[in-house]
Structure 1
Amino acid sequence: MSGYRGTIVERSIEDIKKKIISNDAVVMTSQEICELVEKGEGITIRDVDVVTTATRAVMSGTYAVLSFPVESPFPFKRASKVFLNGITAHVGPCPNESLGMLDLVVFGTAHSHTIPGYGAGHLFREMAEKKSIDVAVTTEGNETFHTQVTLDGMPHAKLFATRHTFKNYAAFVNCSGKPVGTIFHATEFEPDMKTATFSGCGQINPLKNDPQLETIGIGTRMLMNGAQGFVIGEGTRSSPARPNLTGFADMHDMDPSLMGGFSTSAGPECIVSWAIPIPVVSQSVLDAIIVTDPDVPMPVMDVDRRVTIGSTSYADGWRGTDISVEFRPSSCIQCEECRAAECCPMDAIHYNNDRPVMNMRQCFNCGLCTTQCPGNVFRAELGSIRFEMEGRMHEVPIVLRQSDRKRALELEEKLKRMILDGSFVISQMVDTIRS
């Protein structure tokens, strides 16, 4: 890296796009930048043109908009109720009178009425896998029928975000004296601050790398679950301290391994992945990019009261820990009941001929299995949350992560390759999200 420390350099996104086209641009991942910073490298705006960022996490603020024809055994004017694999699909505002069409909205937090533990996140992944989906329709005339559809049979299928990619989410502990069921844990939270969970990819998160939204705005091109889409504004409950985004992408192009359902003690939730390129247009953008996990704040919240009780950093969750779970089936001691399999929020652990099998493509690397298995079949160092509360330091072991940094790192690498080979073109925002 150059040691240039002269006058502040600013350039436009169009200038950077020209460098990419002429194969002169330097594109790096946010992880690569942070590793150089930790080695003491002096990085300047002249050293890098684009930084790719990513996150993969449980993101409740998700919904799908679907429109497709259905095969009906009889003509019908309009549908009044629709279920997809038992999940309520809200019938849209378009009349579609006597056209045999369904316009639907499916909320990412919806649960199936027919399949236990199955939610919209599972449905969205199965759609992306091109699996056949059961469609149950009740018409305005109170007639009913069932049919099947695949994603290829849906001319319109878009996934939308209402509140995604928080710059820094939170760690959770239970300060009460009773167990608490919540979306922030796959099992009930133990009482008296015995365990902690957290969400957020820290230093590689898109909004950590552009917190002032200098390059991310309305119309910014990004990847959602591997499909090219666009940012369309700020998300609900967004604030300058904790910004988040809305956006959308076409489900037909999504990678099933980057999405899915995640079971919690309050029901199934939805997993979504984002990747956003950050053009290094100014020193202020670069200053945010070079911030590493120890300086990325992580609030600590009491999950029972939903109030902030302390603060730490993302170094607690990601520094000196294992981002993936090691699977050692030969260590299995044949427990009568496998707690790891029972508690896995991804249903990634099964048995074949009395031997454990782990679906690594399904695994979210949350780490919960490592805390449940007495035989150490599943191993990962998850770290601890360290924070001060009421003048006393606390250290609470992390037992579950609701973000998958391993695949987020893979996704920012993928985006880097796409920019360099020309299959992803960075875009100039249409308008800023906030003044």
Structure 2
Amino acid sequence: MSRTLSEIQAKVDRGEAVVLTAKEVGEILDGEVVLTLEDVDVVTCATRAVMSGTYAVFSFPVAPPGTFRRATGVWLNGVPAVVGPCPNERLGVLDLIVFGTAASREESRDGGGHLFRDLVEGEEVRVEVETEGGGDLDLDLSLADMPTARLFGTRHSFKNYSAFVNPSEERVATIFHATTFDPCWRGASVSGCGRLNPLENDPLLDTIGVGTRVLINGAEGFVLGRGTRSSPDRPNLSGYADMHGMDPEYMGGFRTSAGPECISSWAVAIPVLREEILERVAAPEEAIPLPVMDVVARKEIGQATYADVWEGTDLAVSFEPGECKRCTACRPEAICPTGAIGFKDWRPTLDRRRCFNCGLCATSCAGDVFRARLGSLRFAGREVPIVVRQSDRLRAERLAEELKRRIVDGSFRMTEMAERISP
């Protein structure tokens, strides 16, 4: 038995379609219920993670025509922009590209990801412009002043990430950890939302192709094609969306010991066209491999599964400010990769909208202010505790719920792909 996307969309339009999130599918199957094509029409999937391959394209006026010939250098909140590709000679308009991993010259731990979230939150950012022949400019602008602001992903939503450990006897600075990596197998860094990830649910790209409508950071966008470094075993996607419609809670910057990184979120609707698609959607966490890599040698040294990461663990960090021991220096505040931890009136605070639920605070707090069960990786006869997560499963579940709501109420319509993507 098979059906088409147009047939499923027609059921949605009539209010007859069954739309479930990948989490809901998992809960049903965990109850040992057998699902058929008559039981589900669409499954919404999502992932939220550190995604390095992110950049933004901006175009906006900064001065009246004729004020300067060309811009030679531009910084937004200290984050460097690449000027071009169109020089816009004498028009007073900038065309810019900003990389999500570009570091600010004002605060090297912050970068493009932090800038993108600031803009989407409606904050004004400082724009510094160096021009050909002098006459530099300095002004404050918000996203509302930027007619064009598009976010692009060059490699997003990997089907399967890797976990990292440090078997060496030296501490290691890496993008895979917010602090330097402890030596001698003392902790693991993990990424990936397991059975919730879109490409875990459609690894053969039967329903996701060029032109597929998706949500990127909560805004409607489209798949452009294969992402860079995509492979049949580990496919990923490229895509884009307009920043004006994004939700800041699904994006941002993530500080690592090797420089700033960028957080992005994707949600994708998987129309259940055939039984084979439903079988892939039904895969449990323990069936999804998680390669474990030596962070120094960058070679695989074992395999765990996503059951180690997401089963029996806490998706959110619990916060008990009354448990604070008043340390001379607060370690969690110093190393929080999203700057979500602070102090007010000598009491710790946690900005839940900025918290990534990475769990690093729980593994570094001298008291019990921050707590979370993060699980352990079991591989090659070892058990290594997870100390930091670079994916936020809780928000991924929320975004999948949001996509489901939009499909049901008709505000999001699934699209036929313009062209298949070879996995």
TM-score by length of 1: 0.96
Q: Contact between 1:53 and 1:206, CA under 8 Å: does it hold in 2?
A: yes
Match of 2:141 among 149, 171, 174: 149
CA distance in 2 between counterparts of 1:407 and 1:264 reads: 20
Counterpart in the other structure of 1:132: 124
Match of 1:432 in 2: 420
Write out aligned runs for 1:237-316 (5 A).
237-316=229-308
Structural mapping, 1:16-415, within 5 Å? 16-71=8-63, 75-388=67-380, 393-415=381-403
Once the two structures are overlaid, the 10-residue window that deviates more, 237-246 or 145-154, is 145-154
Give how far 1:74 is off: 7.3
Paired with 1:182 and 1:294, the residues of 2 have a C-alpha distance of 28
**Aligned residues of 2:199 and 2:236 also touching (Cα < 8 A):** yes
Structure 1 counterpart of 2:235, which letter? P
Q: Is the 8 A contact 1:72 1:147 kept in 2?
A: no
Q: Deviations over 1:91-132 (max 9, x none)?
A: 112131111000000011100012242110000000101111
Post-superposition CA distance 1:265-306 (Å, at most 9, x none): 001110000000000001111111000111111110011111
SS at match of 1:371: helix
Q: Is the 8 A contact 2:44 2:268 kept in 1?
A: yes
Cα offset for 1:35? 1.0
Q: Partner amino acid for 2:422?
A: R
1:116-150, Cα deviation, whole Å (9 max, x unpaired): 42110000000101111111111122432211211
Partner letter of residue 164 of structure 1? Answer: H
SS in 1 for 2:224: strand
- Return the letter of the residue paired with 2:305: S
In 2, Cα distance between equivalents of 1:114 and 1:352:
25
Question: Which stretch of the first structure deviates more once superposed, 107-116 or 200-209?
Answer: 107-116
- Counterpart of 2:217 in structure 1: which amino acid? N
For 2:53, the aligned partner's letter is G
Q: Distance in 1 between matches of 2:299 and 2:338?
A: 28
Q: Counterpart of 1:310 in structure 2: which amino acid?
A: G
Q: Matched residues in 2 for 1:40 and 1:116: separation?
A: 51
Q: Name the count of aligned residue pairs.
A: 423
CA contact (8 A) 1:73 1:145 kept: no
Unaligned runs of 5+ in 1: 1-8
In the alignment, is the contact (CA less than 8 A) between 1:72 and 1:145 conserved in 2?
A: no
Distance 1:78 1:283, change over 3 A: same
Contact 2:111 2:261 in 1 (8 A): yes
Q: What secondary structure sits across from 1:175 in the alignment?
A: coil
Give the secondary structure class of the aligned counterpart of 2:29: helix
- SS of the counterpart of 1:229? strand
Cα deviation, 1:306-327, whole Å, max 9, x if unaligned, reads 1111111100110100000000
Q: CA–CA distance in 2 between the matches of 1:341 and 1:136?
A: 30
Q: Aligned Cα RMSD in Å? A: 1.1
Which digits, 9 at most, give the CA deviation of each residue in 1:385-432, with x for residues without a partner?
Answer: 1101xxxx0110000000000000000000000000000001110000
3-state SS of the aligned residue for 2:185?
A: coil
Q: Assess if the C-alpha contact under 8 Å between 2:108 and 2:259 holds in 1.
A: no
- Give the match's secondary structure for 1:31: helix
Distance in 1 (CA, whole Å) between partners of 2:331 and 2:342 is: 11
TM value normalised by structure 2: 0.99
1:4 aligns with none
Identity %: 55
Q: 1:74 to 1:113 in 2, by over 3 A?
A: farther
Amino acid at match of 1:183: I
